[in-house]
Amino acid sequence: MTIILGISAFYHDSAAALVIDGEIVAAAQEERFTRKKHDSAFPSMAIQSCLEEADIKLSDVEHIVFYDDPVLKFDRLLKTYLAYAPKGFGSFIVAVPNWLREKLFLKRTLKRELAALGGISSSEIPTPTFIKHHQSHAASAFFPSPYNKAAVLCLDGVGEWATSSVWLGDGNQLLPQWQINFPHSLGLLYSAFTYYTGFRVNSGEYKLMGLAPYGEPKYVDLILDNLIDVKDDGSFQLDMSYFDFAVGPTMTNAKFARLFGGERRKPESDISQKEMDIARSIQMVTEEIILRIANSIHRDLGVDYLCLAGGVALNCVANGRLLREGPFKDIWAQPASGDAGGALGAALSVWYETLNQPRRLNGDTDAMQGSYLGKKYSNSEIKCHLDDVGAVYTEYKDPELMPMLAEIIDNGNVVGWFSGRMEFGPRALGGRSIIGDPRSTDMQSTMNLKIKYRESFRPFAPAIKEESVSEWFEIDRPSTYMLFVAPLRESKRVPMAKGEEQLFGIEKLKVPRSQIPAVTHVDYSARIQTVNTKSNPRFYQLLDEFEKRTGCPILINTSFNVRGEPIVNTPEDAFRCFMRTEMDYLVIENMLLFKEDQSATQEDLSWKDEFQID
């Protein structure tokens, strides 16, 4: 038995993944345990969780692999400083001591941390190996995919040097084709606009994407004429005189601000039509570049399938357009496309490329197990947790519980749903979700402002029975991981009145646009999750019961958390989030809790009072 532990850490989204004889056994992000969103710390609790899932000890692990090459990354740090010197000296002298103390000697750091975790001597820890950042991304995309041969496209901020890379996946090997190097980065370009519009880099990109449909593409030519030179094949080069990310802590500079007519929006201030138009413009530029790259690599490599990874692969709007307009027969995107997924890719790279093990495909089914790779809690464990916090609950068997939940949701209630193994990646996929009725005209605003405590414009995703997806949306295949946006079918739309068509910005949000307005964005699109009996039979059962009751095979599915916090991990996390929001019901496996039966603590009440939302 060959046991491989993959680790990503020290930048953002630390995670661990365990692969045993080629099977993905467990994977988890450290943030879920520490409750620090995008936690970059050594993933000791995530590692421990993976080991417990496999019922093994750290001393049983034969291969330990890190998702990045620290020497190459330090090489980039030095050469970037020399290229821009003396600019960036302040950032350089801040960064170098940390590198010399920890990151440059990462083998020693990893062995020390692992030895402390396992309670063993560092000499008993296998010497960690390193995989290049984009190779980790590529491996996470290709090896779990259902394809024997495919092009692989990785787009992110930056790894060591690579920011964009193309690979040919063939059997158990990944063959590099070409790459674009730092500072020329599509991911960092998008993050620069995230920063300029007042959102937080590395987490606010979702907001920028969600804001885009409210705007007009007024700045596309300005971006293409000044910031980025894009060739016909999709290769590109940034004009770095507009950006500061190579030399300092900010993404953009005064020249960038002058180009767009003023300083960046202050975080938490009102969002204006300008920010909406900028969001729409950079989204369109990003989509066009991705389409050009896809057409180029399809022509050069002559393959029918494409795999995606890297942070840009989480841009589900671009993915949806690529699926509809691109040249490939099908696309598979890694559900944990960001740095967390690098831990998994690193482990798989060792199994297939280093150890030269053959791949065993399972028809059209990928190897991610629905991305349900975290811990599952038993009913007995859950009851112990709930009893400890004095929760009032009732236990029901599924045949009784599911119709009851369908009725609860049909009556306009919001339900916290905690079921099965925790998801790996940024999306809640019916393991740790908040669910509601998509037919409600006010549910989007209610859930955003009273449950999620976030901006009212943020869209919600529909979870739909897989066999029903083509009836409701213009997509002819599964979207298991909520990574593709598709238009709603015309037959499900509600035509706008003449005056409503003239509305701009957030005013569009007030107009019901479809039979399922809570999950229909203002451009009649939705970020779809398809659910089948194999990937998540329990969530499918709930969808089925809701359809029997209402005729609608769809539920709102959003992540079980509030703004600024990671998705819940434990029953305690779920109960605390339930008590601190205006959710009506909570179901944790077979335990059903009604908010009015519970006694709020002073901590719950004061937490709500202190929470701020625009």
Per-residue pLDDT tens digits for 32-69 = 999 999 999 999 999 999 999 999 999 999 999 999 99
pLDDT value for 101: 65
Owner of token pair 């000890």? 57
Average pLDDT over residues 322-334: 98
Average pLDDT over residues 64-82: 88
What's this model's pTM, rounded to 2 decimal places?
Answer: 0.94
Q: At 564, is the pLDDT very low, low, confident or very high (cuts 50, 70, 90)?
A: confident
Q: Has residue 21 been placed in a domain?
A: yes
Q: Has residue 485 been placed in a domain?
A: yes
CATH number of the domain encompassing residue 110: 3.30.420.40
Q: Has residue 168 been placed in a domain?
A: no
Q: Has residue 322 been placed in a domain?
A: no
Mean pLDDT estimate for the chain: 93
pLDDT value for 81: 78
Average pLDDT over residues 592-601: 92
Q: Which of 533, 535, 511 minimizes the C-alpha distance to 522? A: 511
pLDDT value for 13: 94
The Cα–Cα gap between 115 and 411 comes to 53
Task: List, in order, residues 6 or more apart from 5 with CB less than 8 Å away.
Answer: 16, 17, 18, 47, 50, 61, 63, 64, 65, 347
Q: Has residue 440 been placed in a domain?
A: yes
CATH number of the domain encompassing residue 563: 3.90.870.20
Integer distance in angstroms from the first to the last C-alpha of the chain?
53
pLDDT value for 614: 36
Better-scored residue on pLDDT, 454 or 613: 454
Per-residue pLDDT tens digits for 112-158 = 999 999 888 888 899 999 999 999 999 999 999 999 999 999 999 99
pLDDT value for 569: 97
pLDDT value for 78: 80
Percentage of the chain lying above the pLDDT 90 cut: 81
pLDDT value for 499: 63
Q: At 510, is the pLDDT very low, low, confident or very high (cuts 50, 70, 90)?
A: low
For residue 500, is pLDDT > 70?
no
| Residue that terminates a domain, selected from 135, 158, 190 | 135
Q: Has residue 587 been placed in a domain?
A: yes
Cα-Cα-Cα-Cα dihedral sign, residues 43, 169, 318, 527: negative
Domain that holds residue 465: 379-610
Q: At 532, is the pLDDT very low, low, confident or very high (cuts 50, 70, 90)?
A: very high
Average pLDDT over residues 575-604: 92
| Residue that terminates a domain, selected from 101, 135, 169 | 135
Q: How many domains does the chain have?
A: 2
Per-residue pLDDT tens digits for 2-35 = 999 999 999 889 999 999 999 999 999 999 999 9
Q: Has residue 575 been placed in a domain?
A: yes
Q: Is residue 353 within 8 Å of residue 172, measured between CB atoms? A: yes
pLDDT value for 509: 66
Q: Rounded to the nearest 5 degrees, what angle is found at the Cα of 458, between the Cα atoms of 457 and 462?
A: 125
For residue 165, is pLDDT > 80?
yes
pLDDT value for 613: 39
For residue 497, is pLDDT > 80?
no
Q: Is residue 332 within 8 Å of residue 147, measured between CB atoms? A: yes
The Cα–Cα gap between 110 and 128 comes to 7
Q: At 611, is the pLDDT very low, low, confident or very high (cuts 50, 70, 90)?
A: very low
Q: At 507, is the pLDDT very low, low, confident or very high (cuts 50, 70, 90)?
A: low
Cα-Cα-Cα-Cα dihedral sign, residues 372, 136, 169, 150: positive
| Residue that terminates a domain, selected from 99, 115, 135 | 135
pLDDT value for 245: 93
Q: At 603, is the pLDDT very low, low, confident or very high (cuts 50, 70, 90)?
A: low
Q: Has residue 31 been placed in a domain?
A: yes
For residue 86, is pLDDT > 70?
yes
Better-scored residue on pLDDT, 448 or 103: 448
Radius of gyration of the chain measured on its C-alpha atoms: 24
